[in-house]
Chains A and B, each alone.
Chain A
Amino acid sequence: MVPSEEQIVTRKGVALLEINDLHANIGEKEILKGITLSVKAGEVHAVMGPNGSGKSTLAQVLAGHPSYEVTKGTVAYDGENLLEMDAEVRAQNGIFLAFQYPVEIPGVSNAYFLRSAYNEIRKSKGMEEVDPLEFLDLMEEKLKLVDMDSAMLQRSVNSGFSGGEKKRNEILQMAVLAPRLAILDETDSGLDIDALRIVAEGVNKLRSPENATILVTHYQRLLNYIVPDQVHVLAGGRIVRSGGKELALELEEKGYDWIQSESGNGVTGRSRVQAGAK
């Protein structure tokens, strides 16, 4: 995909994403209780935390899931108010969420789905749509990135895909749509080590000084393959600690209980960060 002029212009040092005191509810329940986070172009941030800490909610809120209500705070994306944009507008502006549970859509082929998404994004930029043949050429190269067979394109979206295939399909979509801000929600969960490596390599190849990545994960092992610039630990809907990549290793050693008890947070649980495969 050829980035538009606008995409190429990066504003070094200026945050691509600026989250300030973000609160969000689902129904009556407050899940995010004041998140502040700044992500610059070219950076990879890991958001870690135990189950129920709000990390997946953060990913969904950023992508514009209509079930969540933002009650307080601001999110600026490339200087614009992200919270005012509908989900499709966010996507058209370069935000991509790799789903924790990719949705199966029987009856819609992967090729048709990807081309529709690709063309919608092009249309929003005033660019011409590509025809199916041109699109297939583009796909050839992207498929290699995630080690997928072109037969996958003719199958219905995620329908009957294995867990690993679904996650690879998410990375394929990311490769095709070339987002400026990619949010990977537990893309590593449920993957065996080979699939994890393929997914991580795909993500690494797509890294550039112009785009940024947020990795939402429970486990440290993904960070052996994708090295983050910053690591944030979420607990009880707040970021309780931020640090460099060594924070992930420390978490691996001491578990989430350590950070929760240290931060005086009321969240209980005995979850430990699993040791990553070396």
Chain B
Amino acid sequence: MASVSTKERASAPEASPFTAYRADYEAQTAAPEWLTALRSAGIAQFENAGFPTMKDEDWHFTSVAPIAQSVFRAAGAPKVTPRDVKRFTFEHPDWHTIVFVNGRYSADLSSFAGEDSGLRVGSLAEAIRTGKGRPERHVSRIAPPSANSFTALNAAFLSDGAFIEIPADTVAGKTVHLVFVSAGADSVSHPRNVIVAARHSRCSIVESYVALDESRYFTNAVTEIQVGEGARVDHYKLQRESSAAFHVGTIQVHQAAASELHSFSFATGGALSRTNIYTTLDGEGASCTLNGLYLADGTQHVDHQTRIEHVQPNCPSREVYKGVLDGRSHGVFNGKVYVHPEAQKTDGKQSNNNLLLSPTARVDTKPQLEIFADDVKCTHGATVGRLDDNAMFYLNSRGIGPEAARTLLTYAFAADVLEMIELEPLRKALEEIVLARFTEPVTD
């Protein structure tokens, strides 16, 4: 894709999205050599490939035209008070809560729940500045710019995010909650999170994407997770962006032998959102559980793409995604499971169930199995349904009116997958959010 990089053009009010990205790219502060090279590779890859179109198989059901055609600028950090973010932190005293405003770490808003057995949590910006923890060894290792255009764009602007290291044989005693707050219109942030769980370690991480108001902005996040041999990472992503926001978030994971990944993606916000969760089971006995719940209403578009690569033998993978779509919303689920020729004794199960609450809601679901090994056990299935008339009548016949019955049945459908969340305070918080959403209908 052609782009003009003169400063004159970039600062002109009619700046095109590409010139705006280029101008902001060039305006970045100096960085260590490795990062400058990475950013440069990122912008080159992005400008060369451009945004994906619906002709791209991975984006067949989702048009990112609204993102591609809008000018979003890097934004400063507006004043945000602890009061503002309180409603997003679940006020859990035992969690480390790390807050980012428009992609920038905020020391004032963050709080650490005391000493935690060697767990290192901090801002990536600081690690880059001090070189502590040698971020250059980890950043972009699992999700290089070549992964896709959005990851490339994220690399071009890579500057901050969370950098979390769990030393070998260490169990992080406390959950880490990363809260990404967006504030102000037409801004873009590119958070990059790097989580390195050394062998036989264990940790639990929550990533929340939230907004202070209903403005239109763009979040383009990338999270890289290395799960060392025998380690376990529980990762929860909560996409609760503003109803006008655009969100693309990629979580890319590499799993060593006998490691465990437990991932849950919860998506309720955004005008247009896409979550990618990719993991590679790259060691014998590694396992993953990818679960998720998406709720959309109005004209929301919510897309999930998951990819599980079975590279080594004897790896189980489990996946359950559920969606509830109301209004004229559009849900997309594309779950890929690749079984490489060496990955014998793979045991994969995948399901995607959708509930349509209105005649104009739509869902496209595409479970995909590609198997190149001969001794494997893989199943997948997808359903799209409406509320069961018999169940409705059953509840009505017990004195429960149509509205309450609808809420109860919808909640039951969604809560089923929330039950799989092991982190109890989070499960309860999400149950409340879901219940509130169905009791107080969102209007578009």
Residues of A whose CB lies within 8 Å of any CB of B are 63-67, 86-88, 90-92, 96-97, 99, 102-103, 105-108, 113, 116-117, 120-121, 124, 156, 173, 177
Residues of B whose CB lies within 8 Å of any CB of A are 388-391, 393-402, 404-405, 408-409, 411-413, 415-416
Tell me the complex Cα distance, A208–B98, Å.
64
Residues A103 and B394 in contact, CB atoms below 8 Å apart: yes
Instruction: Report chain A residues within 8 Å CB of B395.
Output: 105, 113, 117
Tell me the complex Cα distance, A16–B389, Å.
29
Nearest CB of B to A8, in Å: 20
Residues B391 and A105 in contact, CB atoms below 8 Å apart: yes
Chain B's interface: helix, strand, loop or mixed, by majority? helix
Q: Which of B390, B397, B405, B412 contacts A97 (CB 8 A)?
A: B397
CB-based nearest B residue for A93? B399
Nearest CB of A to B237, in Å: 23
Residues B412 and A87 in contact, CB atoms below 8 Å apart: no
Residues B397 and A87 in contact, CB atoms below 8 Å apart: yes
CB-based nearest A residue for B392? A66
Residues B397 and A107 in contact, CB atoms below 8 Å apart: no
Tell me the complex Cα distance, A103–B391, Å.
6
CB-based nearest A residue for B410? A107
Instruction: Report chain B residues within 8 Å CB of A67.
Output: 389
The tally of CB-CB contacts under 8 A between chains A and B is 76
Q: Which of B391, B399, B411 contacts A92 (CB 8 A)?
A: B399
Tell me the complex Cα distance, A251–B437, Å.
56
Residues B408 and A108 in contact, CB atoms below 8 Å apart: yes
Which 6 pairs, one residue from A and one from B, show the smallest C-beta to C-beta distance?
Answer: A107-B412, A91-B399, A87-B396, A117-B398, A103-B394, A120-B399
Residues B399 and A88 in contact, CB atoms below 8 Å apart: yes
Residues B399 and A108 in contact, CB atoms below 8 Å apart: no
Tell me the complex Cα distance, A190–B400, Å.
28
Given A107-B413, A108-B412, A117:B400 Cβ within 8 A? yes
Q: Which of B389, B397, B402, B412 contacts A105 (CB 8 A)?
A: B412
CB-based nearest A residue for B419? A107
CB-based nearest A residue for B413? A107
Q: Which of A63, A65, A88, A97 contacts B400 (CB 8 A)?
A: A88
Instruction: Report chain A residues within 8 Å CB of B390.
Output: 103
Tell me the complex Cα distance, A175–B249, Å.
52
Nearest CB of B to A144, in Å: 21
Tell me the complex Cα distance, A270–B404, Å.
45
- A-B contact sample (7 more), CB < 8 A, given A88-B396, A120-B399: A63-B397, A103-B394, A107-B415, A116-B400, A120-B400, A124-B399, A177-B398
CB-based nearest A residue for B388? A103
Residues A91 and B412 in contact, CB atoms below 8 Å apart: no
Instruction: Report chain A residues within 8 Å CB of B396.
Output: 64, 86-88, 91
CB-based nearest A residue for B418? A107
Given A88-B400, A124-B399, A116:B408 Cβ within 8 A? yes
Tell me the complex Cα distance, A92–B404, Å.
14
Tell me the complex Cα distance, A217–B416, Å.
36
Tell me the complex Cα distance, A107–B393, Å.
17
Q: Which of B388, B393, B413, B416 contacts A87 (CB 8 A)?
A: B393
Tell me the complex Cα distance, A96–B398, Å.
7
Tell me the complex Cα distance, A66–B404, Å.
17
Tell me the complex Cα distance, A151–B398, Å.
21
Instruction: Report chain A residues within 8 Å CB of B393.
Output: 65-66, 87, 103
Instruction: Report chain B residues within 8 Å CB of A99.
Output: 394, 397
CB-based nearest A residue for B391? A103
Residues B400 and A106 in contact, CB atoms below 8 Å apart: no
Nearest CB of B to A129, in Å: 13
Nearest CB of B to A108, in Å: 5
